[in-house]
């Protein structure tokens, strides 16, 4: 019974550690969300700055897996080139070693639980603060406390389970110091990290075992486990890339190639490399009483060495992964360009991808509206049918984009977001809904023109044609202004005067034409049926004007954006 309880305590301790890391990293991410988006938006083409960016982002969110998934999703979105991604991935490998250094500094000898509870008392009032930044700092403090409470309980549970003797007995049956044992431990580190999906957790367990000074568990074996963790952590990005495009899969493959190649190279010089790390810790760092610094130094030196070794061969790595994963032909009309189902980066940074996709959505609505104008100006039956078929196809595309972007935003909203990001998601959900309505309005106009062609041989009078053309021109101007506003750089001030003026012109022109239509029918200038088709087109244009102004209000964040306009 005691063994079962201790085993459950061990698993629970690991869960507390992982939960603490998650809360801590999310607090940091929300606190620095805008800054991280700015860093990625201004991503330099210089590979060395890409490495520094990877180090910074991973140090902030304390998870190389999250960083690499983010990089893969940004490559999938076209926000980052493959060359830039490889540099960031190299930096992420270095940034993730910070966790080991924090553990080394605090160590397992200090009972961090004594400090954890007072830290929770400090973080609690901050979490209930009305100011967002204070709330995020409170979350970070809570996560930090839970992380080290989990680490402490992990050691207690391992001691109660007599893990040290179990590991010692296993090691006693192995060829101590054998190079085959080193390779075996690399595989063990890889497998455990693939299962746990968190290299920080497996690194913490490795450091805990190493600190227990188990007979036979040498520095070399611990270092082999650490190298295996570097391979195992690549599985997260690989899994995330499966639903992405070819470039996303290439980025994930580059991550795997980099880490596996690095392990192979270090294995070739493994013992001299370990000796060099020992010399550095003893003679440069002057640390003699903390073996954890030895393992942390190896972890950092391993990743820094690999980065320095391969940073000059980024183009070659890119060529290799491109050859292994050739580009497949894709139909861009039927797929999202910047986000992919199942491929979700960190919540705060996913908003940038969704915003980019909304720009594409708006541009497709603009293109669809151009087909409507073409449909009005063609008399040839085959050409008319071809254009109308394209309008039907685009109506299906807008429906699909609305559904997929909304589903993506809903998944993002399930994460722990800052208040500002929650508000942005609310606005974006409204925006995609209104853009889908614009697509519906375009289709309704096309369907009206198609019905007119089927049910009557009578054409619009020259005056009707002129009025419809004038109305379409006003809507086009409003549509162009909407696309400009949607695609503006983040943070740029929005001028709504042009949009509001055009919306008023559209409304007034609709009212004028609607009144004149009844007069013209009564005066027998055209029959009632053609008048009905005519005013249906005009009315749908006015509805489209309303949808357009709703999009503009939603993007600008004005109060009206949450209240549907009268249609």
Q: Which long-range contacts (CB under 8 A, 24 or more apart) does 80-85 make?
A: 80/40, 80/43, 81/45, 82/247, 82/250, 82/251, 82/254, 82/318, 82/321, 82/322, 83/45, 83/47, 83/50, 83/314, 83/315, 83/318, 84/43, 84/44, 84/45, 84/47, 84/50, 85/251, 85/254
SS (H, E, C) 484-503: HHHCCCCCCCCCCHHHHHHH
Same domain, 298 and 372: no
**Are 317 and 365 in the same domain?**
no
Per-residue pLDDT of the chain (567 residues; tens, 9 = 90+): 677 777 788 778 777 777 776 777 667 666 665 565 566 555 555 677 778 877 877 766 656 666 676 677 667 666 677 888 888 888 888 887 877 777 777 655 555 566 777 878 888 888 777 777 778 788 878 877 777 677 677 767 766 766 656 655 665 566 555 788 888 888 888 888 777 666 777 777 788 777 777 767 788 888 888 898 888 888 767 776 766 677 778 888 888 888 899 999 999 999 999 999 989 988 888 776 667 788 889 988 998 998 888 888 888 888 888 888 886 654 444 566 667 544 445 555 677 778 888 998 999 999 999 999 898 888 788 898 999 999 999 998 899 889 888 888 888 877 667 677 788 888 999 999 999 999 999 999 999 999 888 888 788 889 999 999 999 999 999 999 999 999 887 667 788 899 999 999 999 999 999 999 888 888 888 888 898 999 999 999 999 999 999 999 988 876 444 334 443
In 215-332, alpha helices (H):
219-232, 234-241, 246-268, 270-283, 291-310, 314-324
Report how far apart, in Å, the C-alpha atoms of 485 and of each of 78, 158, 355 are.
21, 58, 12
436 Cβ contact partners less than 8 Å away, ≥ 6 residues apart: 398, 399, 401, 402
Whether residues 293 and 410 share a domain: the answer is no
Query: 387 near 371, Cβ under 8 Å?
Result: yes
Q: Does the residue 126 lie in any domain?
A: no
Instruction: Tell which residue, 193, 117, 156, 198, has the closest CA to residue 5.
Output: 156
Tens-place pLDDT, residues 343-376 = 445 555 677 778 888 998 999 999 999 999 898 8
Number of domains in the chain: 2
Domain assignment present for 331 = no
Alpha carbon distance 397, 214 (integer Å): 62
Q: The domain containing residue 377 runs over which residues?
A: 347-562
The CA–CA distances, whole Å, from 75 to 17, 83, 188, 207 equal: 31, 10, 31, 34
For 161-211, where are the alpha helices, taking DSSP H only? 163-172, 179-196, 199-211
Could you tell me if 307 and 445 lie in one domain?
Answer: no
Assess whether 171 and 71 both reside in one domain: yes
* 208 and 269 inside one domain: yes
Q: Which two tokens stand for residue 285?
A: 């760092």
Are both 297 and 363 inside the same structural domain? no
* Same domain flag for 314 and 433: no
369: in domain: yes
Q: What pLDDT score does 507 carry?
A: 93
Residues 397 and 309 in one domain: no
Q: Are residues 487 and 532 in the same domain?
A: yes
Domain-located, residue 275: yes
307 and 353 fall within a common domain: no
> What is the secondary structure of 421-466 as a DSSP string?
HHHHHHHHHHHHHHHHHHHHHHHHHHHHHHHHHHH--PPPPHHHHH
Distance CA 55, CA 88 (A): 8
Q: Is 318 found in the same domain as 357? A: no
Half-sphere exposure of residue 504, counting CA atoms within 13 Å on the CB side?
Answer: 6
pTM over 0.85: no
CATH number of the domain enclosing 551: 1.20.58.220
Is residue 188 situated within a structural domain?
yes
Any domain includes 330: no
SS3 343: strand
- Is residue 114 included in any domain, yes or no? no
Task: Report CA 435 to chain centroid distance, whole Å.
Answer: 22
Is 20 within the bounds of a domain? no
């Amino acid at each position: 019974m005691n063994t079962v309880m201790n085993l459950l305590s061990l698993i629970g301790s690991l869960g507390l550690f992982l939960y603490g890391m998650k809360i801590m990293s999310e607090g940091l991410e929300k606190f620095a969300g805008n800054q991280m988006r700015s860093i990625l938006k201004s991503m330099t083409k210089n590979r060395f700055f890409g490495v520094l960016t990877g180090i910074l982002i991973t140090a902030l969110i304390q998870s190389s897996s999250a960083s690499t998934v983010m990089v893969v999703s940004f490559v999938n979105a076209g926000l980052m080139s493959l060359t830039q991604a490889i540099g960031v991935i190299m930096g992420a490998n270095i940034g993730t070693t910070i966790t080991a250094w924090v553990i080394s500094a605090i160590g397992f000898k200090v009972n961090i639980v004594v400090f954890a509870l007072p830290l929770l008392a400090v973080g609690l009032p901050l979490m209930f603060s009305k100011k967002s930044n204070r709330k995020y700092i409170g979350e970070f403090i809570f996560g930090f406390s839970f992380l080290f409470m989990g680490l402490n309980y992990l050691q207690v549970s391992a001691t109660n389970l007599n893990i040290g003797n179990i590991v010692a007995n296993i090691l006693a049956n192995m060829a101590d110091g054998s190079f085959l044992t080193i390779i075996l431990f690399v595989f063990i580190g890889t497998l455990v990290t693939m299962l746990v999906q968190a290299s920080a957790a497996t690194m913490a367990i490795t450091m805990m075992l190493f600190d227990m000074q188990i007979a036979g568990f040498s520095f070399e074996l611990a270092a082999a486990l650490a190298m295996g963790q570097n391979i195992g952590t690549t599985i997260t990005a690989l899994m995330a890339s499966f639903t992405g495009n070819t470039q996303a899969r290439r980025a994930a493959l580059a991550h795997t190639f980099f880490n596996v190649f690095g392990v192979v190279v270090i294995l070739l010089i493994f013992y001299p490399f370990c000796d060099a790390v020992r010399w550095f810790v003893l003679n440069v760092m002057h640390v003699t009483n903390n073996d954890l610094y030895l393992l942390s130094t190896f972890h950092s030196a391993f990743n820094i060495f690999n980065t320095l070794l391969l940073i000059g061969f980024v183009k070659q790595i890119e060529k290799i992964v491109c050859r292994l994963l050739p580009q497949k032909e894709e139909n861009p009309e039927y797929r999202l360009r910047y986000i992919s189902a199942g491929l979700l980066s960190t919540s705060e940074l996913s908003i940038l991808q969704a915003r980019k996709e909304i720009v594409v959505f708006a541009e497709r609505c603009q293109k669809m509206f151009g087909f409507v104008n073409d449909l009005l100006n063609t008399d040839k039956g085959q050409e008319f049918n071809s254009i109308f078929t394209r309008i039907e196809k685009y109506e299906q595309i807008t429906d699909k984009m609305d559904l997929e972007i909304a589903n993506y935003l809903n998944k993002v909203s399930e994460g722990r977001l800052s208040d500002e990001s929650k508000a942005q998601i609310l606005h974006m959900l409204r925006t995609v809904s209104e853009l889908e309505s614009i697509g519906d309005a375009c289709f309704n106009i096309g369907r009206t023109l198609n019905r007119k062609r089927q049910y009557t041989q009578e054409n619009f009078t020259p005056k009707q044609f002129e009025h419809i053309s004038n109305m379409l021109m006003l809507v086009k101007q409003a549509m162009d202004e909407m696309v400009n506003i949607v695609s503006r750089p983040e943070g740029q001030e929005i001028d709504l005067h042009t949009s509001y003026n055009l919306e008023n012109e559209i409304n007034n022109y609709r009212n004028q034409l609607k009144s004149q239509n009844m007069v013209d029918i009564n005066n027998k200038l055209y029959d009632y049926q053609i008048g009905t088709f005519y005013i249906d087109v005009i009315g749908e244009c006015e509805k489209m004007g309303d949808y357009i102004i709703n999009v503009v209000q939603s993007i600008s964040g004005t109060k009206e954006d949450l209240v549907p306009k009268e249609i």
